[in-house]
Copies of this chain bind each other. A is one copy, B any other.
Amino acid sequence: MSRIDAIYPADRITLREVGLRDGLQIARSHPATEAKLNWLEREAAAGVRHFEIGSFLPAGRFPQFADVGAMIEGAERHDLHSAALTLNERGAEAAFATAIREMVCVVSATEEHSEANMRRSRGDAVDLVRQIAARRDAEAPGKIVNAGIAMAFGCSLAGDVAHDEVLRLADACLEAGADIVGLADTVGYAGPKAVGELCARMSGVCAGRPFIIHLHDTRGMGVANAAAALDNGARVIDASLGGLGGCPFAPGATGNVVFEDIVYLAETMGFATGIDLDTLKTARRIAEEAMPDDDFHGALHRAGPPQNARWRA
């Protein structure tokens, strides 16, 4: 079994909880490490196994991720799959010194966003994926290299993004040694038609290997987009507890697609998640208490699943 099949099996779906990373990126509240560990452990008790738990970014500019080491240790204590954003050489250096199980690189779909966000060209971003994958092969063969294509459904700087261009970059990342590629609707431009079409073509590029869909609910399309992705071959979905995350380009906007609602969606579509919704609700309460200045979203947590009818397909 290959490294990637052991972590993200192609024959079932995996939900990645990104609240502790993307959910904190532009958050107003910065929860204490202890609260974050409680949140992680509570979600683990609910059956969640895949977490983005932080970022290897400068602690000066991103103090909410200064405890990434403690978060990795917390994940290891419970044998959880931990992932962290690894955006540059310094971040990679830090990552290899830890037990982090997955390094998340980002390649922007547009040159404009790549330069503005990471001060490097898309070509250089793919080269960084190549360097990290090579070092991984040499030093830490168990670690996963994940390459996320940001702005894959439209860019707040460049506007329209052609599917061909996204698929070309996804292919380049795989060729550079990434184990898995993600398609990110970073600013929530997509509708289900675009998501379905790009995922169907992505299934071809990945040739049986899983790929990730990373959705933002900025315009309320998150769950519909996830359904379209599942209908068209996506088997790994990013979501955040309570839909934490916001959008840097739309103040007050809703954030990542809501984890709880995605669990319900997947189960109604016949994809078993192994996640218990009641326990997840208690994790949500921990996060809400730890982040009093941030908005939580979603609907499932209010009503709960139907009590008297079959809702798992």
A residues with CB within 8 A of B: 154-161, 187-194, 217-221, 223-224, 226-228, 247, 250, 252-254, 258, 260-261, 264-265, 267-270, 298-300, 302-306, 308-311, 313
Contacts and interface: CB of A to CB of B under 8 A. Distances in A.
A241 B39 CA distance: 35
B265 A221 contact: yes
A264 B188 CA distance: 12
Contacts of A250: 302-304
Q: How many monomers of this protein are in the complex?
A: 2
Contacts of A311: 154, 189, 191
Contact of A261 (B219, B227, B308): B219
A223 B165 CA distance: 28
A157 B228 CA distance: 31
Contact of A191 (B157, B160, B258, B313): B313
A311 B155 CA distance: 12
B219 A188 contact: no
Contacts of A188: 303
A294 to B, nearest CB: 14
Contact of A193 (B160, B226, B270, B310): B270
B189 A299 contact: no
A311 B156 CA distance: 13
A192 B308 contact: no
A115 B43 CA distance: 42
Given A219-B299, A299-B254, A268 B155 contact: no
- Among the interface residues A156, A188, A221, which one has the most CB atoms of the partner chain B within 10 A? A221
Contacts of A254: 299, 302-303
Given A223-B221, A258-B220, A308-B159, A268 B193 contact: yes
Contacts of A221: 223, 261, 264-265, 268
Contacts of A156: 308
Given A194-B313, A309-B159, A220 B223 contact: yes
B223 A226 contact: no
21 contacts: A154-B309, A155-B309, A160-B309, A188-B303, A191-B267, A191-B269, A192-B227, A193-B270, A218-B302, A219-B261, A219-B299, A219-B300, A220-B258, A220-B298, A221-B223, A221-B264, A221-B268, A223-B224, A224-B227, A250-B303, A252-B302
Nearest to A266: B191
B310 A160 contact: yes
Given A191-B313, A221-B264, 20 more contacts: A154-B306, A159-B310, A189-B306, A191-B227, A191-B265, A191-B267, A191-B311, A192-B227, A192-B265, A192-B268, A193-B313, A194-B313, A219-B299, A220-B260, A220-B265, A220-B298, A247-B303, A254-B299, A254-B302, A254-B303
